[in-house]
Structure 1
């Protein structure tokens, strides 16, 4: 089987490439590092020749709603039309749990627009809505730290290992998972601020964590999985203890 990975050099993309390679599949990397600009349709259909499935794990350059929406919908349209022209059978896109419940959070609005663009343009669309990565608290700490203060949104989440996301994306791509829309989360519901505090303590730092409501739906638990979600991988505390 031949699988194209859009965003192949990013965090999720590298794990998808590793999982596909371990399964014996041929991988076609689609990233700027491979000379591919997904915001342009030029040469995409030729690059997808002979590909059986496309996995899109691209990330927008920022979180601004307008810019992210433009990026995601442009890439989805270009990939979808090129995949159709190339005769690709299936397209899998990575999304986020709760994107349809958070009209008050711009980046999630953009991800929902991406889903819609994939459905409208891509052959055999499949959507994986995943919870935040186990790496997410560290990212939020980096992005939200100002001196000794960390300012976070109030958020309930059920974080999941990137490796589990990669495995399920591959299962959707090769048809092992037959559903067209799937949710994936880790085993334990958590509070983002608590996770960041655990990370700070693990690092031996002294920081103050403050929270505010940036999205009421997010604060109320819209990012938590539904009853039919796949639950996989370690919880945050177990994962964190293994990082040293």
Structure 2
């Protein structure tokens, strides 16, 4: 089966491509650096010719409100139009648990706009809502940095390792479209401030985490339900400690 992965050279894309190729599928790892650009349309028609499945893992290079909305709307429209013309049978997109609850933040507004385009496209689809990747912990710490402290919300998170995300995306690619949304999470529910403190300590970073209920998460105020799923999510197997032990060796 021919599968096209948009964002196929990124973190999740590279791992998903590897898994599907090992199972004998023809996988196109599509990205601007491989000649496929969903913003300009360059290479889209050629890449999607004969494809049965498209997995959209592309992410905006900017999280600024206007830029991120333009990225997901333009990219989404171009990709869905090309997919429809090519007769794609299953369109899959990776999104974020809590997207509909965090509309104060421009990134989540843009992801919701992307999801609405997919649902209205007429192409059979599956949307995968994932909790935050463990690989995103440094960026979360950076977002809350104030001098020598890191101010973060005590809201619950349930981060998932990228290897577990890639396993899930590969499985969805080989399953029938559900015309709906599934959710995936990591194995441990923990408060964001506590988890980042563990990460900084394990990394030898001397900064202290300040628990601040008013701290914003990329523009959105969080509560204990914002970033976690109670909708029977598929659970990853890799714990924070297992992930960090591997990440520290790289």
Q: Report the TM-score, using the length of structure 1 for normalisation.
A: 0.91
Q: Conserved in 2, the CA contact under 8 Å of 1:91 and 1:122?
A: no
Q: How many Å apart are 1:179 and its aligned residue?
A: 6.7
Aligned equivalent of 1:106: 106
Quickly say closer, same or farther: Cα 1:173–1:122, change in 2 above 3 A. farther
Q: Conserved in 2, the CA contact under 8 Å of 1:137 and 1:199?
A: yes
Residue 239 of structure 1, aligned match among 213, 233, 243: 243
Kindly report structure 1 stretches of 4+ aligned residues shifted beyond 6 Å.
Answer: none
Q: How many Å apart are 1:112 and its aligned residue?
A: 0.8
Residue 213 of structure 1, aligned match among 212, 215, 233: 215
SS at match of 1:219: coil
Greater CA deviation, 147-156 or 134-143?
147-156
Give deviations 1:21-56, integer Å, cap 9, x for gaps: 122111112111102221023441222101110000
Give deviations 1:87-137, integer Å, cap 9, x for gaps: 111110000001011122221111111111122236212100001111121
Q: Conserved in 2, the CA contact under 8 Å of 1:6 and 1:57?
A: yes
Greater CA deviation, 171-180 or 24-33?
171-180
Give deviations 1:185-226, integer Å, cap 9, x for gaps: 01111122211111111122211223443233x233211112
Quickly say closer, same or farther: Cα 1:177–1:160, change in 2 above 3 A. farther
**Does 1:227 find its partner at 2:198?**
no
Q: How many Å apart are 1:77 and its aligned residue?
A: 0.8
Q: Conserved in 2, the CA contact under 8 Å of 1:3 and 1:53?
A: yes
Structure 1 distance, partners of 2:179, 2:43, is 31
Quickly say closer, same or farther: Cα 1:177–1:84, change in 2 above 3 A. closer
Q: Report the TM-score, using the length of structure 2 for normalisation.
A: 0.89
Please report the RMSD computed on the Cα atoms of aligned residues, expressed in angstroms. Answer: 2.0
Structure 2 distance, partners of 1:203, 1:161, is 17
Mapping of residues 35-54 of structure 1, within 5 Å = 35-54=35-54
Aligned equivalent of 2:171: 171
Greater CA deviation, 199-208 or 80-89?
199-208
Q: Conserved in 2, the CA contact under 8 Å of 1:46 and 1:86?
A: no
SS at match of 1:135: helix
Q: Conserved in 1, the CA contact under 8 Å of 2:97 and 2:131?
A: yes
- Runs of 5+ unmatched residues, structure 1: none
- Runs of 5+ unmatched residues, structure 2: none
Q: Conserved in 1, the CA contact under 8 Å of 2:19 and 2:170?
A: yes
